[in-house]
Structure 1
Amino acid sequence: MARCFNHKLVLNFCNLLFLLCGTMLIVSGCYLYTDTRRILLSRLLAAPSERLSALPQPLLYYIALGLCVAGFVAVLAAVIGFWASCLHTYCFLSVYFLSVVVLLLAESVVCLAITLWPHCLGISLDETQMVKALQANYGIPGQEQFTNAMDLAQTRFGCCGMSGAINYDTSLWRLQEYGQRNWAVPLSCCVLENAPDRLSYLDPKPANESQCQSLERTSYERERYTESCLPHLDGWYREQYSVFLGASLVMGLVEFCVLLAIILSCTGIATQRATLASDTQHLRKRAKSRQVLVENLYEPEVELRDVGAGVRSMCLGSRHVSSEDFKELYVQPRDLYKQRHNTTFKPIASDYQTPMRSYLV
C-alpha cells in the first residue's frame, strides 16, 4: 500500500488545484475591476465611515486590486510548489509551506474581520448613519461619486432615499437648492423612460416629470418609486459577502490540502532516505561477507564435514560455512574427457579449446 502511494503525485495535484485557484482569483479581480456599476454601488457601503469616504475610489475597487495581487502570489507560490516537487528537497518545500501559510493567515484575518467585526472596516448599514450620509453628501459639489452611486441604487432597485423620499426634504441638496427649486426628489427616483439603458442613472429621463415631482401622493405614487433603498442595499451587500466568503472557503480548503501534501512529501523524503541508508548498509554487509569468504577459501584450516542429507560444510577457523555459499563463486568446469559420438571422424573445433580448470580445496 505504501508503494502505491505517490507523494509527488499528490503534491502535484494539489499544486495544480492551487494554481487554478490563483488563476481564478486573477480573473475574478479583473472582472470586478471592469464592473464599474458594482464598484460604484459599493461607495454607499462606506458612506458612514469618514476614513473610507476619504478614499479616492470605492471599496470594491481596492478589493479587486487585492484579488489580483492575491491571485498573482498564489500562482507564484504554485510555481514554487512544482519546482519543489521536482527537486524534492526540504529547503524548497519549506519555502512553499511558509508561502501558503502566509496566504492562509491573511485570508483568515480578512474573512474574520468582515464576518465578525465589519464596523472595524468601516462597513455599516445603520439606517440613521446612512440617512445622515445621504443628506450631507447627495448633490454636493465634490461628492459626485456618492451622488452617482445613489442615483444608480435608485434606478437599479426602484427605490427612493435611504428610508424614503422624505430624506431629501431636509438634505443639503434641497435646502441649498443644488437641484431645481420645483424638484421634490431627484429624477432618479422617478419611473424612467430609459430604464433599460445601463447608463440611465447618469441621464435619467422621467416618463412624467410633472407628476413625479408633485407633492400630492395620489399624483406621484404611479410615477415615483416609494420604497426605501436601505433593504435593497443590505441584500446586495449580503450577496457580495456570500460570494466572497464562499470563494475564500474554497481557497482555504485548497491551501489546507496543499499544506497536508507538503507534510506528506517531507515524510516521504525521510522514509526514502531511511530506506536508502538501510539498503546501503545491507549491501555493505553482504559485500564484506563475500570478501571474507573469498579470502578464506584457500586457507589450510578449511575442513569439509558432513552435515547431513547430502549437504557438506567447511570449517573456516572458528566458523562453519555451508557448501551452498560457494554456488555463486564456484563454476563447474566443462568435462572435456567424456565420450562423444562422432561418426564422421572429423575433428571438432570445441575439442581444441584450451581447458580452464578451477579447483576447490
Structure 2
Amino acid sequence: MKMPSWQRAVVKVGSALIAPDDTGTSSKYLLAIARFIIECHERGQEVVLVSSGSAAAGRKHISYDSDTIPVTVKKAMAAVGQTDMMANWSRFFDFPCAQVLMTHGDLRDRARYVSIRNTLHTLLEHNVLPIVNENDALATDEMKVGDNDNLAAMVATLVDADALFICSDIDGLFDADPRVKPDAKKIPVVDKITEEIFALAGGTTNKIATGGMRTKIEAAEKATSHGIDTYIVNGRKGETFELLLHGKNPGTLFSRQQDPMTNKKHWLRHTLVSQGEIVVDAETANSVVAGQSLTTMGIVDIQGDFNRGDAVVIRNGDNAEAVAKGICQYSSHELIHIKGQEVSAIAKQYGYSPITEVIESNDLMILEDE
C-alpha cells in the first residue's frame, strides 16, 4: 500500500528495540533506523527522534535483581543511562544531535509549551536532529507523560509533523492477539479510532517498557486528530525502513483526520489534565457547546479541588455528560461561594466586581465525542 507523502516526521523508538533483552542497550536494531533517518536527511525530509532507553541503558551501571524495580531505582537508572543513550545514537550521524528532555509539566504550562515548540522548530531549521525523551530522573507521577508513545504524539503536534512512526517489536495492529491466535490478520489501515479499535489492544511484556498496544492507539488518536498520519511498524525488521523509504506501508496506518484541531484546541484536549469538574444546568451546557463563554450563572456544583489556571471539565448536570474542557479563571474554593449568582449580586455581596467569564470561549474545547 502506498503511503501519503510527508516532509516532517517524528520517529519513536521503543525500549523493545533499544534493550531487546532487558539488560542494557544494544545496537542490534538501531542501525537500520539510523540509516532511515540519514536517508531522510539526504532527501531534505526533517526528522525528530523520540527515544526510550535511558532506564535500560542505566541497568548496566545500576544492577537490580528483582523483576519489580522501585521508582527511585528507575529514576537513578534513567539519570545515568541518558548520556549512554545519547552517545549510542549520536555515533551513527555526521550531523549534530540535540538532547531535549521534558515532562508533562512542561507541556501543560502554555508558556513552556510554546517555548519547547519554538526550540524544536529552531533545531530543525538548523538541520539538527532533536532526540527527545521524558525527563524520568526528575518527573513525579503527576508530571509524567507516562509513556513515550504518547510523548511522541505530543512532540509530533509540537513540530507540526506530517507523519508519526511508532517503531516497536510488533508488525502493526491485528484483529486478534497474534501471540495467541497465529492466524490473526494485520489491519493495514485504520480510518477512524473507535472503542472497537481500542478493544484490540493487548499489554506489554517488557519489564523496562511502560507502553503496550493501547498506548500506541492513544498516541495515534492524539496525532491523527491534529492531522498527522500515524504508523505502527516493526523496527526489528530491516525491510521495514526500506519499504518506508519507497513510500510503502509495512505496518498499520492510522489515517489523519481531514478536519484537524488547531494547536491550542489540541493542547486543551490532549495535553492538559483536568483537575476538577464544573457541573452546569442543561441550558448552560447547550450555550457552552454553541460557543459561549461559561459564566457563574448556570453553575450548580463544583467537584474537585483546583486552582486558577487549571483545566476543568464542564459536565451537564441533567445527564452527567462531559460537554467541554477548559482553563478556569477561578479556584474551586471561589466558585463554591459565587456559583449560580449574577455578577451584580456577587459585587454587592463581596464588594468587588468579579471576572465575568469563569472560562472564556477561546479557552474551551468541546468534547463532542465523550
The TM-score normalised by the length of structure 1 is: 0.24
Q: Which has the higher strand share?
A: 2
Q: Which has the higher helix share?
A: 1
Which is greater in Rg? 1
The TM-score normalised by the length of structure 2 is: 0.23
